[in-house]
Structure 1
Amino acid sequence: MFAVHLRNKLFPIQQIFADSSASLHEIQLLDGATLLGNYKGQIFVGFSSLSETGKERQKFVKKLEEEKSKTVSYLINSCGLSPETAVSASEKVCVGNLRKSNSVLALLEKQGFREHKSPLLEPTFFTRSLENQIIPNYNFLKSVLGTDERVAAAMKRTSWIFCDDVNKSLSPNVKVLRELKVPESCIKLLLTHYPEALFEKADEFRASVSKVLEMGFSPLKSMFVLALHAISGDANKVTWARCYQSYSDWGWSEDDIHMAFRKHPNCMLMSQEKISETMDFLVHKMGWNSRTIATCPTVLFFNLKSRIIPRCSVIELLSSRGLITKRLKLSTVLIPSEKSFLERFVVKFEKEIPELPDFYKGKVGVQES
């Protein structure tokens, strides 16, 4: 929070610059005001006399508000942000140096980012050096991804990829993957869709790679980078721990959890609510063993209302009519495509239960015979 220092008191002004030291020269202090310095995002200004403080503070605040107004207008008119987004972004960045800001936008437009760059830009993007950071980062990204379109896709996922120093994390982490003979297509997949994984600190990234290798993933397969994404980054690690606890609560062993993870890494990135409601239905309503689900974790991703419940309801009805006499596997019911399921369990028994198609679609009820 920026503040004006008046007679040993701090008065909050409003945070409008991402980098106060870079912005100070953009503000001309008014008569009677003295710049005392800046520290950790605060501007300290003193006024010559107590009688002037109210008047000068008002003028100073007005000056800052004018700068913010210019920033908001620029973000709306030049960058295409919505008014609401522009106001929010203006709290973190000042584009007082329009020449520099226009240079950044011109570079993005030249590389084909016009369609989606603006809403995704990290607010501090405009404060970065074109020559020392943005252009080198872009060149490295393109050297890995190959095309402007893929760079744009990566930026769409994580806009701050141009704001980090690629030599501190991205470059050495890509080198680690190449040393393991990870296919370039897999590296592109990771960088395009899950770039945050490659921006871990180098030592943390190596630890994540070692963990994935220990769990049996082959670096030659695309599943390797999906697993790497699932355990990389603070947020994903927290989610992993929560998922681990949820599955443990449902009776899964460590081996069960690792088996499910090897089959579908994203099963460790699910919400606890989704895990709970799906497991509850499949175990308590349908009677499948919870550990059986670990062998087919894909079913956890299916929509409960539009896929799982309708299909299971059909199976229950057919079983109650004696049309199905054996216990079906979980995968047999939920994995087949819609067409395959309809042919095997709906169309096949339509003669015996004419209203079965409508029942499956949830349009009518079926009377028990």
Structure 2
Amino acid sequence: MFSSILNTRRSRELHQWRNLISPLSNLLLPQASPALASPFSSATASDPTPEDERKRKSFTVHYLINSLGLTPKLAESISSKANFDSKQNPDSVLKLLRSYGFADPQISTIIATYPRFLVENPEKTLRAKLHFLKLNGASSSEITEIVSKVPKILGKRGHVSITGYFDYVKEILQDQDNVKQTNRTRNVSVLRELGVPHKLLLNLLISKAKPVCGKERFEESVEKIVAMGFDPTSKKFVNALYVFYELSEKTIEMKVCIYKKLGFSVDEVWSTFKKWPYLLKYSEKKITQTFETLRECGLTEEEVRAVVKKYPECVGTSEEKIVGSVETFVELGFTGEEALMIIKRHPQCIGLASDTVKSKVEFLVGKMGWALKDVASTPIVLGFSLEKFILPRCNVIRALVSKGLIGEMPAISSALTSPKLRFLKNFVKKHEEVAPELISIFTGDCVSLAL
């Protein structure tokens, strides 16, 4: 089914992969078959163990709570993005920020936005940027107020970019009562009154298109977006503003006609546009190429349209990425029909990195014992976080199996797609005698069973 597209764009053929990969569907629950070693790589001896990672995260959480007074929930969130087992570097970061006058609540906001600062050299990541702002006339009070409100400034690269961004933020946060009636100040005021948050206003201000610097075109664009019902607090509102501001009415009509030729009705084009406004930004060549690539993968024209309606971002996905996704599924042992089922049921899988898909399938099939066809029938699970979502639930399931409290593996949909409260009701609360232990496993207070 896929050979025609892959023969011309890849050096390997899918049927060769199928011959190399041992079937995974008969794997037993407690341990993976040795055959699993062919499609899946195993951790090396130098890799940190789950226990090592758990200790680092625990150390990080306690440090953040004790040093900054963060809530356990926020500290947990930060520890999942950056963790450490020594306080030397994070102490240096906090000392530096305090030396510039930042209060602990302001530091908490900065660290929550950029947890990586805790594990990087503060001299290179922070001091140089803060010092440069001061050299360019920013007062200490301005730096602490503006940077703490918009920590994104510290993520900018290049001195010109940092100071320019700082000036924009200063204009929005401190000059709201400025009597100058420039297009920019007037338009920013309009967007603010509509409810557009600061972080989205900043992106508009520093964009090359500068839609907030226009007048008639800006007003017309905003009117169209508001009439279509876009939420001003969402990024889609800003994306739609870019599209209407940058493209002429004639160009937009032409893009709509392209989708009509591909089988969409006008209403379907605009309903899909509301899901992802950049739908209309791509060239006719790119749009038609994406449709062609999906068809060559084995989807019918109707199925291609359904995929685009569900996941319009796929229009901007490269041909190589789409084909690569199909390759990954088949390389892992899914049949051609199962690979298509995955794409049709959860097109977002097209955008997943191959190593991410690989690690999740390895765990769900090799460790938990679900069959490949189970994953293919519920592909949304491939989009879930392995560490934050899949592992806590599977830890509970494995504990129940090891204790003999359930006789067989539950359906993957029951274990991984049911709402949290339903999962707890079905797999934790009904086993009252071990419920406290299961809760501890679910929340990660004890060592993982599933890894």
2:190 corresponds to 1:110: yes
More strand as a share of residues: 1
Instruction: Quote the residue 1:310 is aligned against.
Output: 392
| Greater Cα offset, 354-363 or 302-311 | 354-363
2:309 corresponds to 1:229: no
Which letter maps to 1:253? T
2:342 corresponds to 1:269: no
CA contact (8 A) 1:198 1:205 kept: no
C-alpha distance 134-332 of structure 1, shift in aligned 2 (>3 A) = same
Instruction: Quote the residue 1:359 is aligned against.
Output: 441
1:1-369 equivalences in 2 (<5 Å): 87-88=160-161, 102-107=182-187, 109-110=189-190, 112=194, 115-116=197-198, 118-121=201-204, 123-126=207-210, 130=214, 134=218, 141-142=224-225, 146-147=228-229, 149=231, 153-157=235-239, 160-162=242-244, 164-167=246-249, 169-177=251-259, 180=263, 182=265, 184=267, 187-208=269-290, 215-216=299-300, 224-230=308-314, 232-233=315-316, 235-351=317-433, 355-364=437-446
Q: Residue by residue, what CA displacement relative to the aligned partner does 1:176-214 show, whole Å, maximum 9, x if unpaired?
A: 556856474x54553344222221113433454576688
CA contact (8 A) 1:283 1:290 kept: yes
TM-score (norm 2): 0.50
Q: Residue by residue, what CA displacement relative to the aligned partner does 1:270-317 show, whole Å, maximum 9, x if unpaired?
A: 122321221111122112223431111111122222332222222222
CA contact (8 A) 1:263 1:297 kept: yes
Distance 1:298 1:254 in 2: 18
CA contact (8 A) 2:364 2:370 kept: yes
CA contact (8 A) 2:256 2:266 kept: no
CA contact (8 A) 1:128 1:163 kept: no
CA contact (8 A) 1:243 1:268 kept: yes
Q: Residue by residue, what CA displacement relative to the aligned partner does 1:32-58 show, whole Å, maximum 9, x if unpaired?
A: xxxxxxxxxxxxxxxxxxxxxxxxxxx
C-alpha deviation, 1:346, in angstroms: 1.1
Instruction: Quote the residue 1:30 is aligned against.
Output: none
CA RMSD of aligned residues (A): 4.6
CA contact (8 A) 1:212 1:227 kept: no
Which letter maps to 1:110? V
Which letter maps to 2:323? A
C-alpha deviation, 1:115, in angstroms: 3.9
Q: Residue by residue, what CA displacement relative to the aligned partner does 1:110-156 show, whole Å, maximum 9, x if unpaired?
A: 354764454222643349994786566556x449x525756974353
Distance 2:379 2:236 in 1: 28
CA contact (8 A) 1:288 1:330 kept: yes
Which letter maps to 1:88? S
C-alpha deviation, 1:264, in angstroms: 1.0
C-alpha distance 329-106 of structure 1, shift in aligned 2 (>3 A) = same
Distance 2:322 2:435 in 1: 45
Larger radius of gyration: 1
CA contact (8 A) 1:134 1:163 kept: yes
Which letter maps to 1:119? L
Which letter maps to 2:359? E
CA contact (8 A) 2:346 2:380 kept: yes
* Identical counterparts, % of pairs: 19
TM-score (norm 1): 0.60
C-alpha distance 187-296 of structure 1, shift in aligned 2 (>3 A) = same
SS of alignment partner, residue 288 of structure 1: coil
| Greater Cα offset, 197-206 or 101-110 | 101-110
Distance 2:448 2:196 in 1: 55
SS of alignment partner, residue 388 of structure 2: helix
CA contact (8 A) 1:133 1:165 kept: no
Q: Which has the higher contact order (CA 8 A, sep 6+)?
A: 2
C-alpha distance 151-201 of structure 1, shift in aligned 2 (>3 A) = farther
C-alpha deviation, 1:340, in angstroms: 1.3
